[in-house]
Chains A and B, each alone.
Chain A
């Protein structure tokens, strides 16, 4: 197993001197799905944003395939092969579907048209609506457009922040299954998910965060089967602190 993405003792927060992440570490294996779960306020989204360069890391390191990428400029993440799909507002609603894709492909030069066609071949539901405003798409289609935009940069790693949020169970399943399928193309997926059971069934590895710190991590299936973890984090009765 090779490590695609490694976060080591990351301390980060939106405001200086107010750290949300307090020494979080995480490893995402190449071509695997790694899921981050935890209660609200655990710092899951902050961690993924810190990796994407949207939240400043005050101490700790983040490396991509062994190369340090701590505090990158967000607009340069694509060039490093990392795509980020935000939880909401992850498409440009005022642009058409094709314009959304062309925007990401604007530096692709002569290959742009070929790559756009290849993307639309992967997402036939979007292909038929290329000239429609992206804002008119359904929640599930928007999520697929966001994924298509992420794929447009030919990423080695995709960071996804709650891709199933606000979707119907069927659409959520489709999006998560698509993320899973991307690993077969060698893409590493790191996702934050509230839909814990569904995500664990699809994921290879899982990190559980609480209060900005690592709690438990392990193989997703093991955590899914663990009665204690299930009781605390998967909707079971909470265990009273000792």
Chain B
């Protein structure tokens, strides 16, 4: 039970990072972006490439930061990956979504996002192969935190959780202390009013893709650190991320954070009573329950 709670919290932090970008883009651009989770895959693979690159150029960076399997090279690669994935998200918008937005409706955007997801997934498979990849081949043993109740935690998991929480805290400071943060929240809440309040919507769309892509990249790398990377990573995470977004309320950044933890915890706690094969169904049930009981989510409101 305790093990499930800890695992759920860890998965929740990754889902939260993914859901923040999704909720902002969904609310502002008024479409369910099924390709958002592919940004996690892009982020994970970009970090893999730059990890190898940095390690090759500066072998000193390939040493692990004990007791983690994380290397200095990968730490730098995460930052590069966040930037490049953010830029990828902007490019995808410019190449696809912006054009569809200009001519089609919300439904066209949703179908376009399915198409983008399929294309990205297959491009990644084509480039990197379908075999799973690991950031580190080193075996890092889990630490026994407690024997009764039995609790195992890997150092990488602790790092991932702390790093995800730190990113969210930094985001919280930006959102709650800076006028740029107010602008982001304003656009997420009511794009039309934000516009007449002097906010350049086109510029904000670019920034939201940059931030959403950057956070998705971090989530993808953290997922890869504690699991493995493969081209269907996005497909596996799209539903939990959507569930997190819907639970939190579309458009609510803080709701997305809370939603991520709720879905992560619920999915892992379900394993206490259900066989593991049923775990992927839990986000579906959460989406259904939220839509029935509180269609606007925990923090969402009927949109303006």
Among the listed A74, A91, A95, A153, which residue makes an inter-chain contact with B182, where contact means beta carbons less than 8 Å apart? A95
CA distance A102 to B186 in the complex (A): 12
| Chain A contacts for B189, CB-based, 8 A | 92-95
Asked if A95 contacts B186 (CB within 8 A), the reply is yes
B196 near A92 with CB under 8 A, answer no
- Encoded as 1 (CB less than 8 Å from any B CB) or 0, chain A from 66 to 97 comes to 00000001111111000010101111111100
B186 x A106 contact (CB < 8 A):
no
- Looking at the assembled complex, report how far the CB atom of B63 sits from the nearest CB atom of chain A, in whole angstroms: 45
Asked if B106 is an interface residue, CB under 8 A from chain A, the answer is no
Question: For the complex, is B146 an interface residue (Cβ under 8 Å from A)?
Answer: no
Which chain B residue lies CB-closest to A86?
B193
**A75-B201, A78-B198, A89-B304 given; A103·B182 CB < 8 A:** yes
Task: State the CA gap A86–B194 with chains docked (Å).
Answer: 11
Bound Cα distance from A149 to B190, whole angstroms? 15
- Contact partner of B193 (CB less than 8 A), chosen from A73, A78, A90, A107, is A90
**Alpha-carbon distance between A83 and B127 when the two chains are bound, in angstroms:** 52
* Residue in B182, B196, B200 whose Cβ sees the most chain A Cβ within 10 Å: B196
Given the interface pairs A89-B304, A94-B252, the reply to whether A75 lies near B196 with Cβ below 8 Å is: yes
* Chain B positions within 8 Å of A99 at CB level: 182
A76 CB to closest chain B CB, in angstroms?
A: 8
Q: How far is the CA of A231 from the CA of B180 in the complex (A)?
A: 52
In the complex, chain A residues 157-200 whose Cβ is within 8 Å of any chain B Cβ: none
Which residue from B183, B195, B304 sits with its C-beta under 8 Å from A103? B183
Question: Hey, which chain A residues are within 8 Å of B137, CB to CB?
Answer: none
Contact in complex: A77, B196 (CB < 8 Å): yes
Measured between beta carbons, the chain B residues less than 8 angstroms from A92 are 182, 185-186, 189-190, 193-194
> Could you say which residues of chain B place their CB within 8 Å of the CB of A73?
200
B299: nearest residue on chain A (CB-CB)?
A94
A19 lies within 8 A of chain B by Cβ: no
A148 to B201, CA, bound (A): 22
CB-based contact A107/B198 at 8 Å? yes
Instruction: Tell me whether B301 is interfacial, beta carbon within 8 Å.
Output: yes
Q: Could you mark each residue 224-268 of chain B with 1 if its beta carbon is under 8 Å from any beta carbon of chain A, else 0?
A: 000000000000000000000000000010000000000000000
Instruction: State the Cβ distance, A132 to closest chain B Cβ, in Å.
Output: 14
Partner of A84 from the list B179, B183, B196, B304 (CB cut-off 8 Å) is: B196
Q: 5 nearest interchain CB pairs?
A: A89-B304, A106-B179, A78-B198, A103-B182, A74-B195
> What are 22 of the A-B contact pairs (CB < 8 Å)?
A75-B195, A75-B197, A77-B196, A78-B196, A78-B197, A79-B198, A84-B196, A89-B193, A92-B185, A92-B186, A92-B189, A93-B301, A94-B189, A95-B185, A95-B189, A102-B179, A104-B198, A106-B179, A106-B180, A106-B182, A106-B198, A107-B198
**Given A93-B301, A102-B182, A107-B198, 15 new contacts (CB under 8 A):** A52-B196, A54-B192, A74-B196, A77-B196, A77-B198, A78-B196, A78-B198, A88-B304, A93-B189, A94-B252, A95-B182, A103-B182, A103-B197, A104-B197, A106-B198
